[in-house]
Amino acid sequence: MARTSYLFTSESVSEGHPDKVCDRISDTVVDLLLSRDPVARVACETLTTTNRIVLAGEIRCAADVAPEEIEAAARAAVRDIGYEQDGFHWETAHFSNHLHEQSADIAQGVDEGAGAFKEEGAGDQGIMFGYACDETPELMPAPITYSHQILKEMARLRKTGERPEFEPDAKSQVTLRYENGRPVAVTSVVVSTQHKDGVSLEDIRELVRPIVKQVLPEGWFPPEDEFYVNPTGKFVIGGPDGDAGLTGRKIIVDTYGGAAPHGGGAFSGKDPTKVDRSAAYVARYLAKNVVAAGLARKCTIQLSYAIGVAKPLSVYVDLHGTGRIDEAVLEKRLPEMVNLSPRGIRTHLGLNKAIYARTAAYGHFGRTPDADGGFSWEKTDLVSDLKSLA
């Protein structure tokens, strides 16, 4: 029997966290190539450390994209994040590009064959999960939602100049108490933020306080002894200068904060033929529509794929005992509503666009769909069809 009363914690990291810097650079490369060739193939990994940026991976693009353009795009991404520090500066960091052509062996499993004899297959095997719940208006778990919002607001204030004391690297962590399966209070908040030298820890604490109060529901601010700001002390050296970063190391931050399963594949740096990314997006899309339609308070969807095979090997739905419909009905009908082949997903969600750099921080899910097609997987346009099933 599922527990109904417990504490649950999720964390987020800012766009200036070393791993998130790498995610942003990798997704910037994806956007650059997709802007030149909508069917470009990209698998770009990034390493950052003290004044160094290294790219590696495989690409294929019908248009010519000069190495200088890739370097300029990567540096622009770092500049936008806000790194102009002695230990990591967008303009002076050493840059190495080791991207090369995609393996022909991988390409032959993914590409469509001649005529209609072979449909485009998945770019890799694997399992992908989507999740939604009714804890927040975004239909996301509350702890990860609040953790993201705290850091997003801190970044906004830093970039507008309202809070110049903040530097780009930061983390947040929010613990909620659940009663009868519903969040009822925040029991603790942790925020660690890089800051200008000379700013006192007490000053940082008081700068963070109103941001946390603004994000949390009224009356949910934790007890004073459970409000932790920079608990290790001074935090001046940060970002890639303080800790090396790699693409794809914050997959729980990117998804549901640990409140739902994760298939293990990272998103950033991958074009949408990679089902690690596109199938996780469509699984979230389907789960969100199920909850938005009122068919359940919680919904987990698992999809599985084999490299070179177009159709999913399995579709699994779990409504966690909150459903108004049989899961087996959804397992049959959802693939009829959305073609879950790699091409079908990309077509339905419009994924062959330069829409990925914006996903690299503050979560891939629970965001507002953009007019240009960004975050299309957050739309709830299946609600009317799903309601008819009930």
Which single residue is written with the structure tokens 């740096």?
269
20 annotated active-site? yes
Catalytic hit among 249, 277, 298, 364: 249
- 58 vs 2, higher pLDDT: 58
pTM, full prediction: 0.95
Q: Pick from 210, 177, 178: which is nearest to 191 by CA? A: 210
Q: Is 111 annotated as a binding residue?
A: no
pLDDT at 114 exceeding the cut of 60: no
Q: Is 213 annotated as a binding residue?
A: no
Catalytic hit among 27, 276, 318, 378: 276
Is the separation of the CB atoms in 344 and 6 below 8 Å?
A: no
- 3-class SS letters over 22-84: HHHHHHHHHHHHHHHCCCCEEEEEEEEECCEEEEEEEEECCCCCCHHHHHHHHHHHHHHHCCE
Residue 117: predicted pLDDT = 39
pLDDT digits (tens, 9 = 90+) for 200-234: 999 999 999 999 999 999 999 999 999 999 999 99
Catalytic hit among 8, 17, 167, 357: 17
Give Cβ neighbours of residue 336 (< 8 Å, ≥ 6 apart): none
Catalytic hit among 15, 19, 31, 271: 19
Tokens standing for residue 127: 């399992």
244 annotated active-site? yes
pLDDT at 170 exceeding the cut of 70: yes
241 annotated active-site? no
Cα four-point dihedral sign 259, 260, 264, 267 = negative
Catalytic hit among 24, 41, 152, 250: 250
Give dist(CA 311, CA 7) in Å, integer: 39
pLDDT at 95 exceeding the cut of 90: yes
378 annotated active-site? no
DSSP state of 205: H
Give dist(CA 67, CA 100) in Å, integer: 11
Q: Is 358 annotated as a binding residue?
A: no
152 annotated active-site? no
Q: Is 31 annotated as a binding residue?
A: no
Q: Is 234 annotated as a binding residue?
A: yes
Catalytic hit among 8, 11, 15, 20: 20
276 annotated active-site? yes
Give dist(CA 78, CA 73) in Å, integer: 9
- Rounded mean pLDDT, 246-270: 97
Residue 115: predicted pLDDT = 40
213 annotated active-site? no
Q: Which of 57-90 are b and which e, b meaning 16 or more Cβ less than 10 Å from the residue's Cβ?
A: bbbbbeeebeeeebeebbbebbeebbbebeebeb
Catalytic hit among 58, 69, 119, 134: 58
Is the separation of the CB atoms in 195 and 203 below 8 Å?
A: no
Name all domains of the chain by residue range, CATH numbers in brackets: 6-13+142-237 (3.30.300.10), 126-134+275-389 (3.30.300.10)
Q: What percent of the chain has pLDDT over 90?
A: 91
Is the separation of the CB atoms in 32 and 185 below 8 Å?
A: no
Indicate the residue type of 325: I
Q: Is 266 annotated as a binding residue?
A: yes
174: pLDDT confidence band, cut at 50, 70 and 90?
very high
Indicate the residue type of 323: G
Give dist(CA 351, CA 278) in Å, integer: 8
Pairing of strands 52-60, 94-101: parallel
* CA end-to-end distance (rounded Å), the chain: 26
Q: Is 58 annotated as a binding residue?
A: yes
pLDDT at 116 exceeding the cut of 60: no
H/E stretch holding 129: strand 126-133
270 annotated active-site? yes
Q: Is 169 annotated as a binding residue?
A: yes
Dump the DSSP string for 135-199. Answer: SSTTSS-HHHHHHHHHHHHHHHHHHHTS-TTEEEEEEEEEEEEEETTEEEEEEEEEEEEEE-TT-
Residue 86 — φ and ψ, nearest 5°? -60, -40
Q: Is 226 left (phi over 0), alpha (psi -120 to 50) or beta?
A: alpha
60 annotated active-site? no
Q: Is 353 annotated as a binding residue?
A: no
